[in-house]
């Protein structure tokens, strides 16, 4: 599944932080620009196949590395969602043209995407949520993250944790044994605790595409319409069968096939 990040590597400043990112796809000024924000403790490598599909569809795709990974630098202590959102926003703004800009989050990255939409409504024309968690989830899922990312844990335990929390039956979790940053996870969790919920929860005013795997334990059936209830009529919900929390890496072609027409309709001004 996961492979190297496609595209040209660039850097952009966000205050004292320097954010490294890859950019691939259309170089036409009129192309829609997407910025993909990765999940807890992970980087844009998880988007490699999805990014390739999106680029092939004529979109420009920006893939930033979180602070402390992949050449990105910046404080990891004393930060909040708004700092992390500004990192993504700097990369998105550096590449966006008149074709419009869409922020895309995966799992934890959905919170950062929504924060950017709240902070920069002038920049964000649309929000795509991939495997966004609902209002609550089982405690064992948070524990699964701890085990999955622990290089000292037995490999069998890590694979079982990945299968439980991230991958649907029939998908190999082994590539996700690597790619974790414990330091980043700690900073991201502290950032969540430090952020006033009211400062980001409204998520701006842009339309929202909510794509969820039917086998995602972080979004069980009784919470599937969570964002519809929170943000209707801004939200379009689409479910993907055979996918769990690692949705964009499990089903990249299917996710792209959902995103591309929505983005084209967004540009035409037709999404609700």
Structure tokens given for 30 = 């009129």
Instruction: Summarize pLDDT for 2-42 with one digit per residue, the tens.
Output: 458 889 999 999 999 999 999 999 999 999 999 999 999 99
Give per-residue burial for 103-141: e unless 16+ CB within 10 Å, then b: bbbbbbbbbbbbbbbbbbeebbbbbbbbbbbbeebeeeb
Stretch 119-133: mean pLDDT, rounded? Answer: 98
pLDDT category at 237 given cuts 50, 70, 90 is very high
Examine residue 3 and state whether it is found in any structural domain, yes or no.
no
81: domain CATH number is 3.40.50.1820
Q: State residue 1's pLDDT score.
A: 37
Examine residue 183 and state whether it is found in any structural domain, yes or no.
yes
Q: State residue 135's pLDDT score.
A: 80
Q: What is the overall mean pLDDT for the chain?
A: 95
Domains held by the chain: number: 1
pLDDT beyond 80 at 92: yes
Examine residue 49 and state whether it is found in any structural domain, yes or no.
yes
Percentage of the chain with pLDDT > 90? 93
Examine residue 1 and state whether it is found in any structural domain, yes or no.
no
Q: In terms of residue numbers, what domain contains 126?
A: 8-268
Instruction: Summarize pLDDT for 45-86 with one digit per residue, the tens.
Output: 999 999 999 999 999 999 999 999 999 999 999 999 999 999
Instruction: Summarize pLDDT for 182-223 with one digit per residue, the tens.
Output: 999 999 999 999 999 999 999 999 999 999 999 999 999 999
Handedness of CA 116, 19, 129, 122 (dihedral sign): positive
CA angle, 196 then 202 then 204, to 5°: 115
């Amino acid at each position: 599944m996961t492979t190297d990040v496609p595209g040209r590597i660039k850097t952009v400043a966000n205050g004292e932080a320097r954010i490294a990112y890859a950019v691939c796809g259309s170089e036409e000024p009129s192309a829609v620009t997407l910025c993909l924000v990765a999940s807890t403790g992970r980087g844009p490598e998880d988007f490699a196949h999805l990014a390739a599909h999106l680029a092939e569809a004529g979109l420009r795709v920006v893939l930033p590395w979180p602070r402390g990974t992949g050449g990105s630098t910046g404080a990891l202590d004393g930060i909040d969602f708004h700092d992390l959102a500004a990192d993504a926003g700097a990369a998105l703004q550096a590449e966006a043209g008149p074709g419009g800009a869409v922020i895309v989050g995966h799992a934890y990255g959905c919170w950062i995407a929504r924060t950017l939409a709240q902070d920069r409504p002038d920049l964000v024309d649309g929000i795509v949520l991939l495997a966004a968690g609902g209002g609550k989830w089982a405690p064992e899922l948070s524990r699964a993250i701890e085990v999955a990312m622990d290089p000292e844990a037995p490999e069998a335990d890590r694979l079982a944790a990945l299968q439980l929390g991230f991958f649907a039956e029939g998908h190999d979790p082994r590539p996700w044994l690597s790619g974790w940053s414990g330091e980043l996870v700690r900073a991201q969790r502290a950032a969540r605790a430090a952020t006033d919920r009211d400062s980001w929860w409204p998520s701006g005013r842009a339309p929202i595409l909510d794509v969820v795997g039917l086998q995602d334990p972080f979004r069980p059936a009784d919470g599937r319409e969570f964002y519809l209830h929170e943000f209707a009529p801004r939200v379009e919900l689409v479910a993907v069968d055979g996918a769990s929390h690692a949705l964009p890496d499990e089903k990249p072609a299917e996710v792209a096939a959902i995103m591309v027409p929505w983005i084209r309709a967004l540009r035409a001004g037709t999404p609700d």
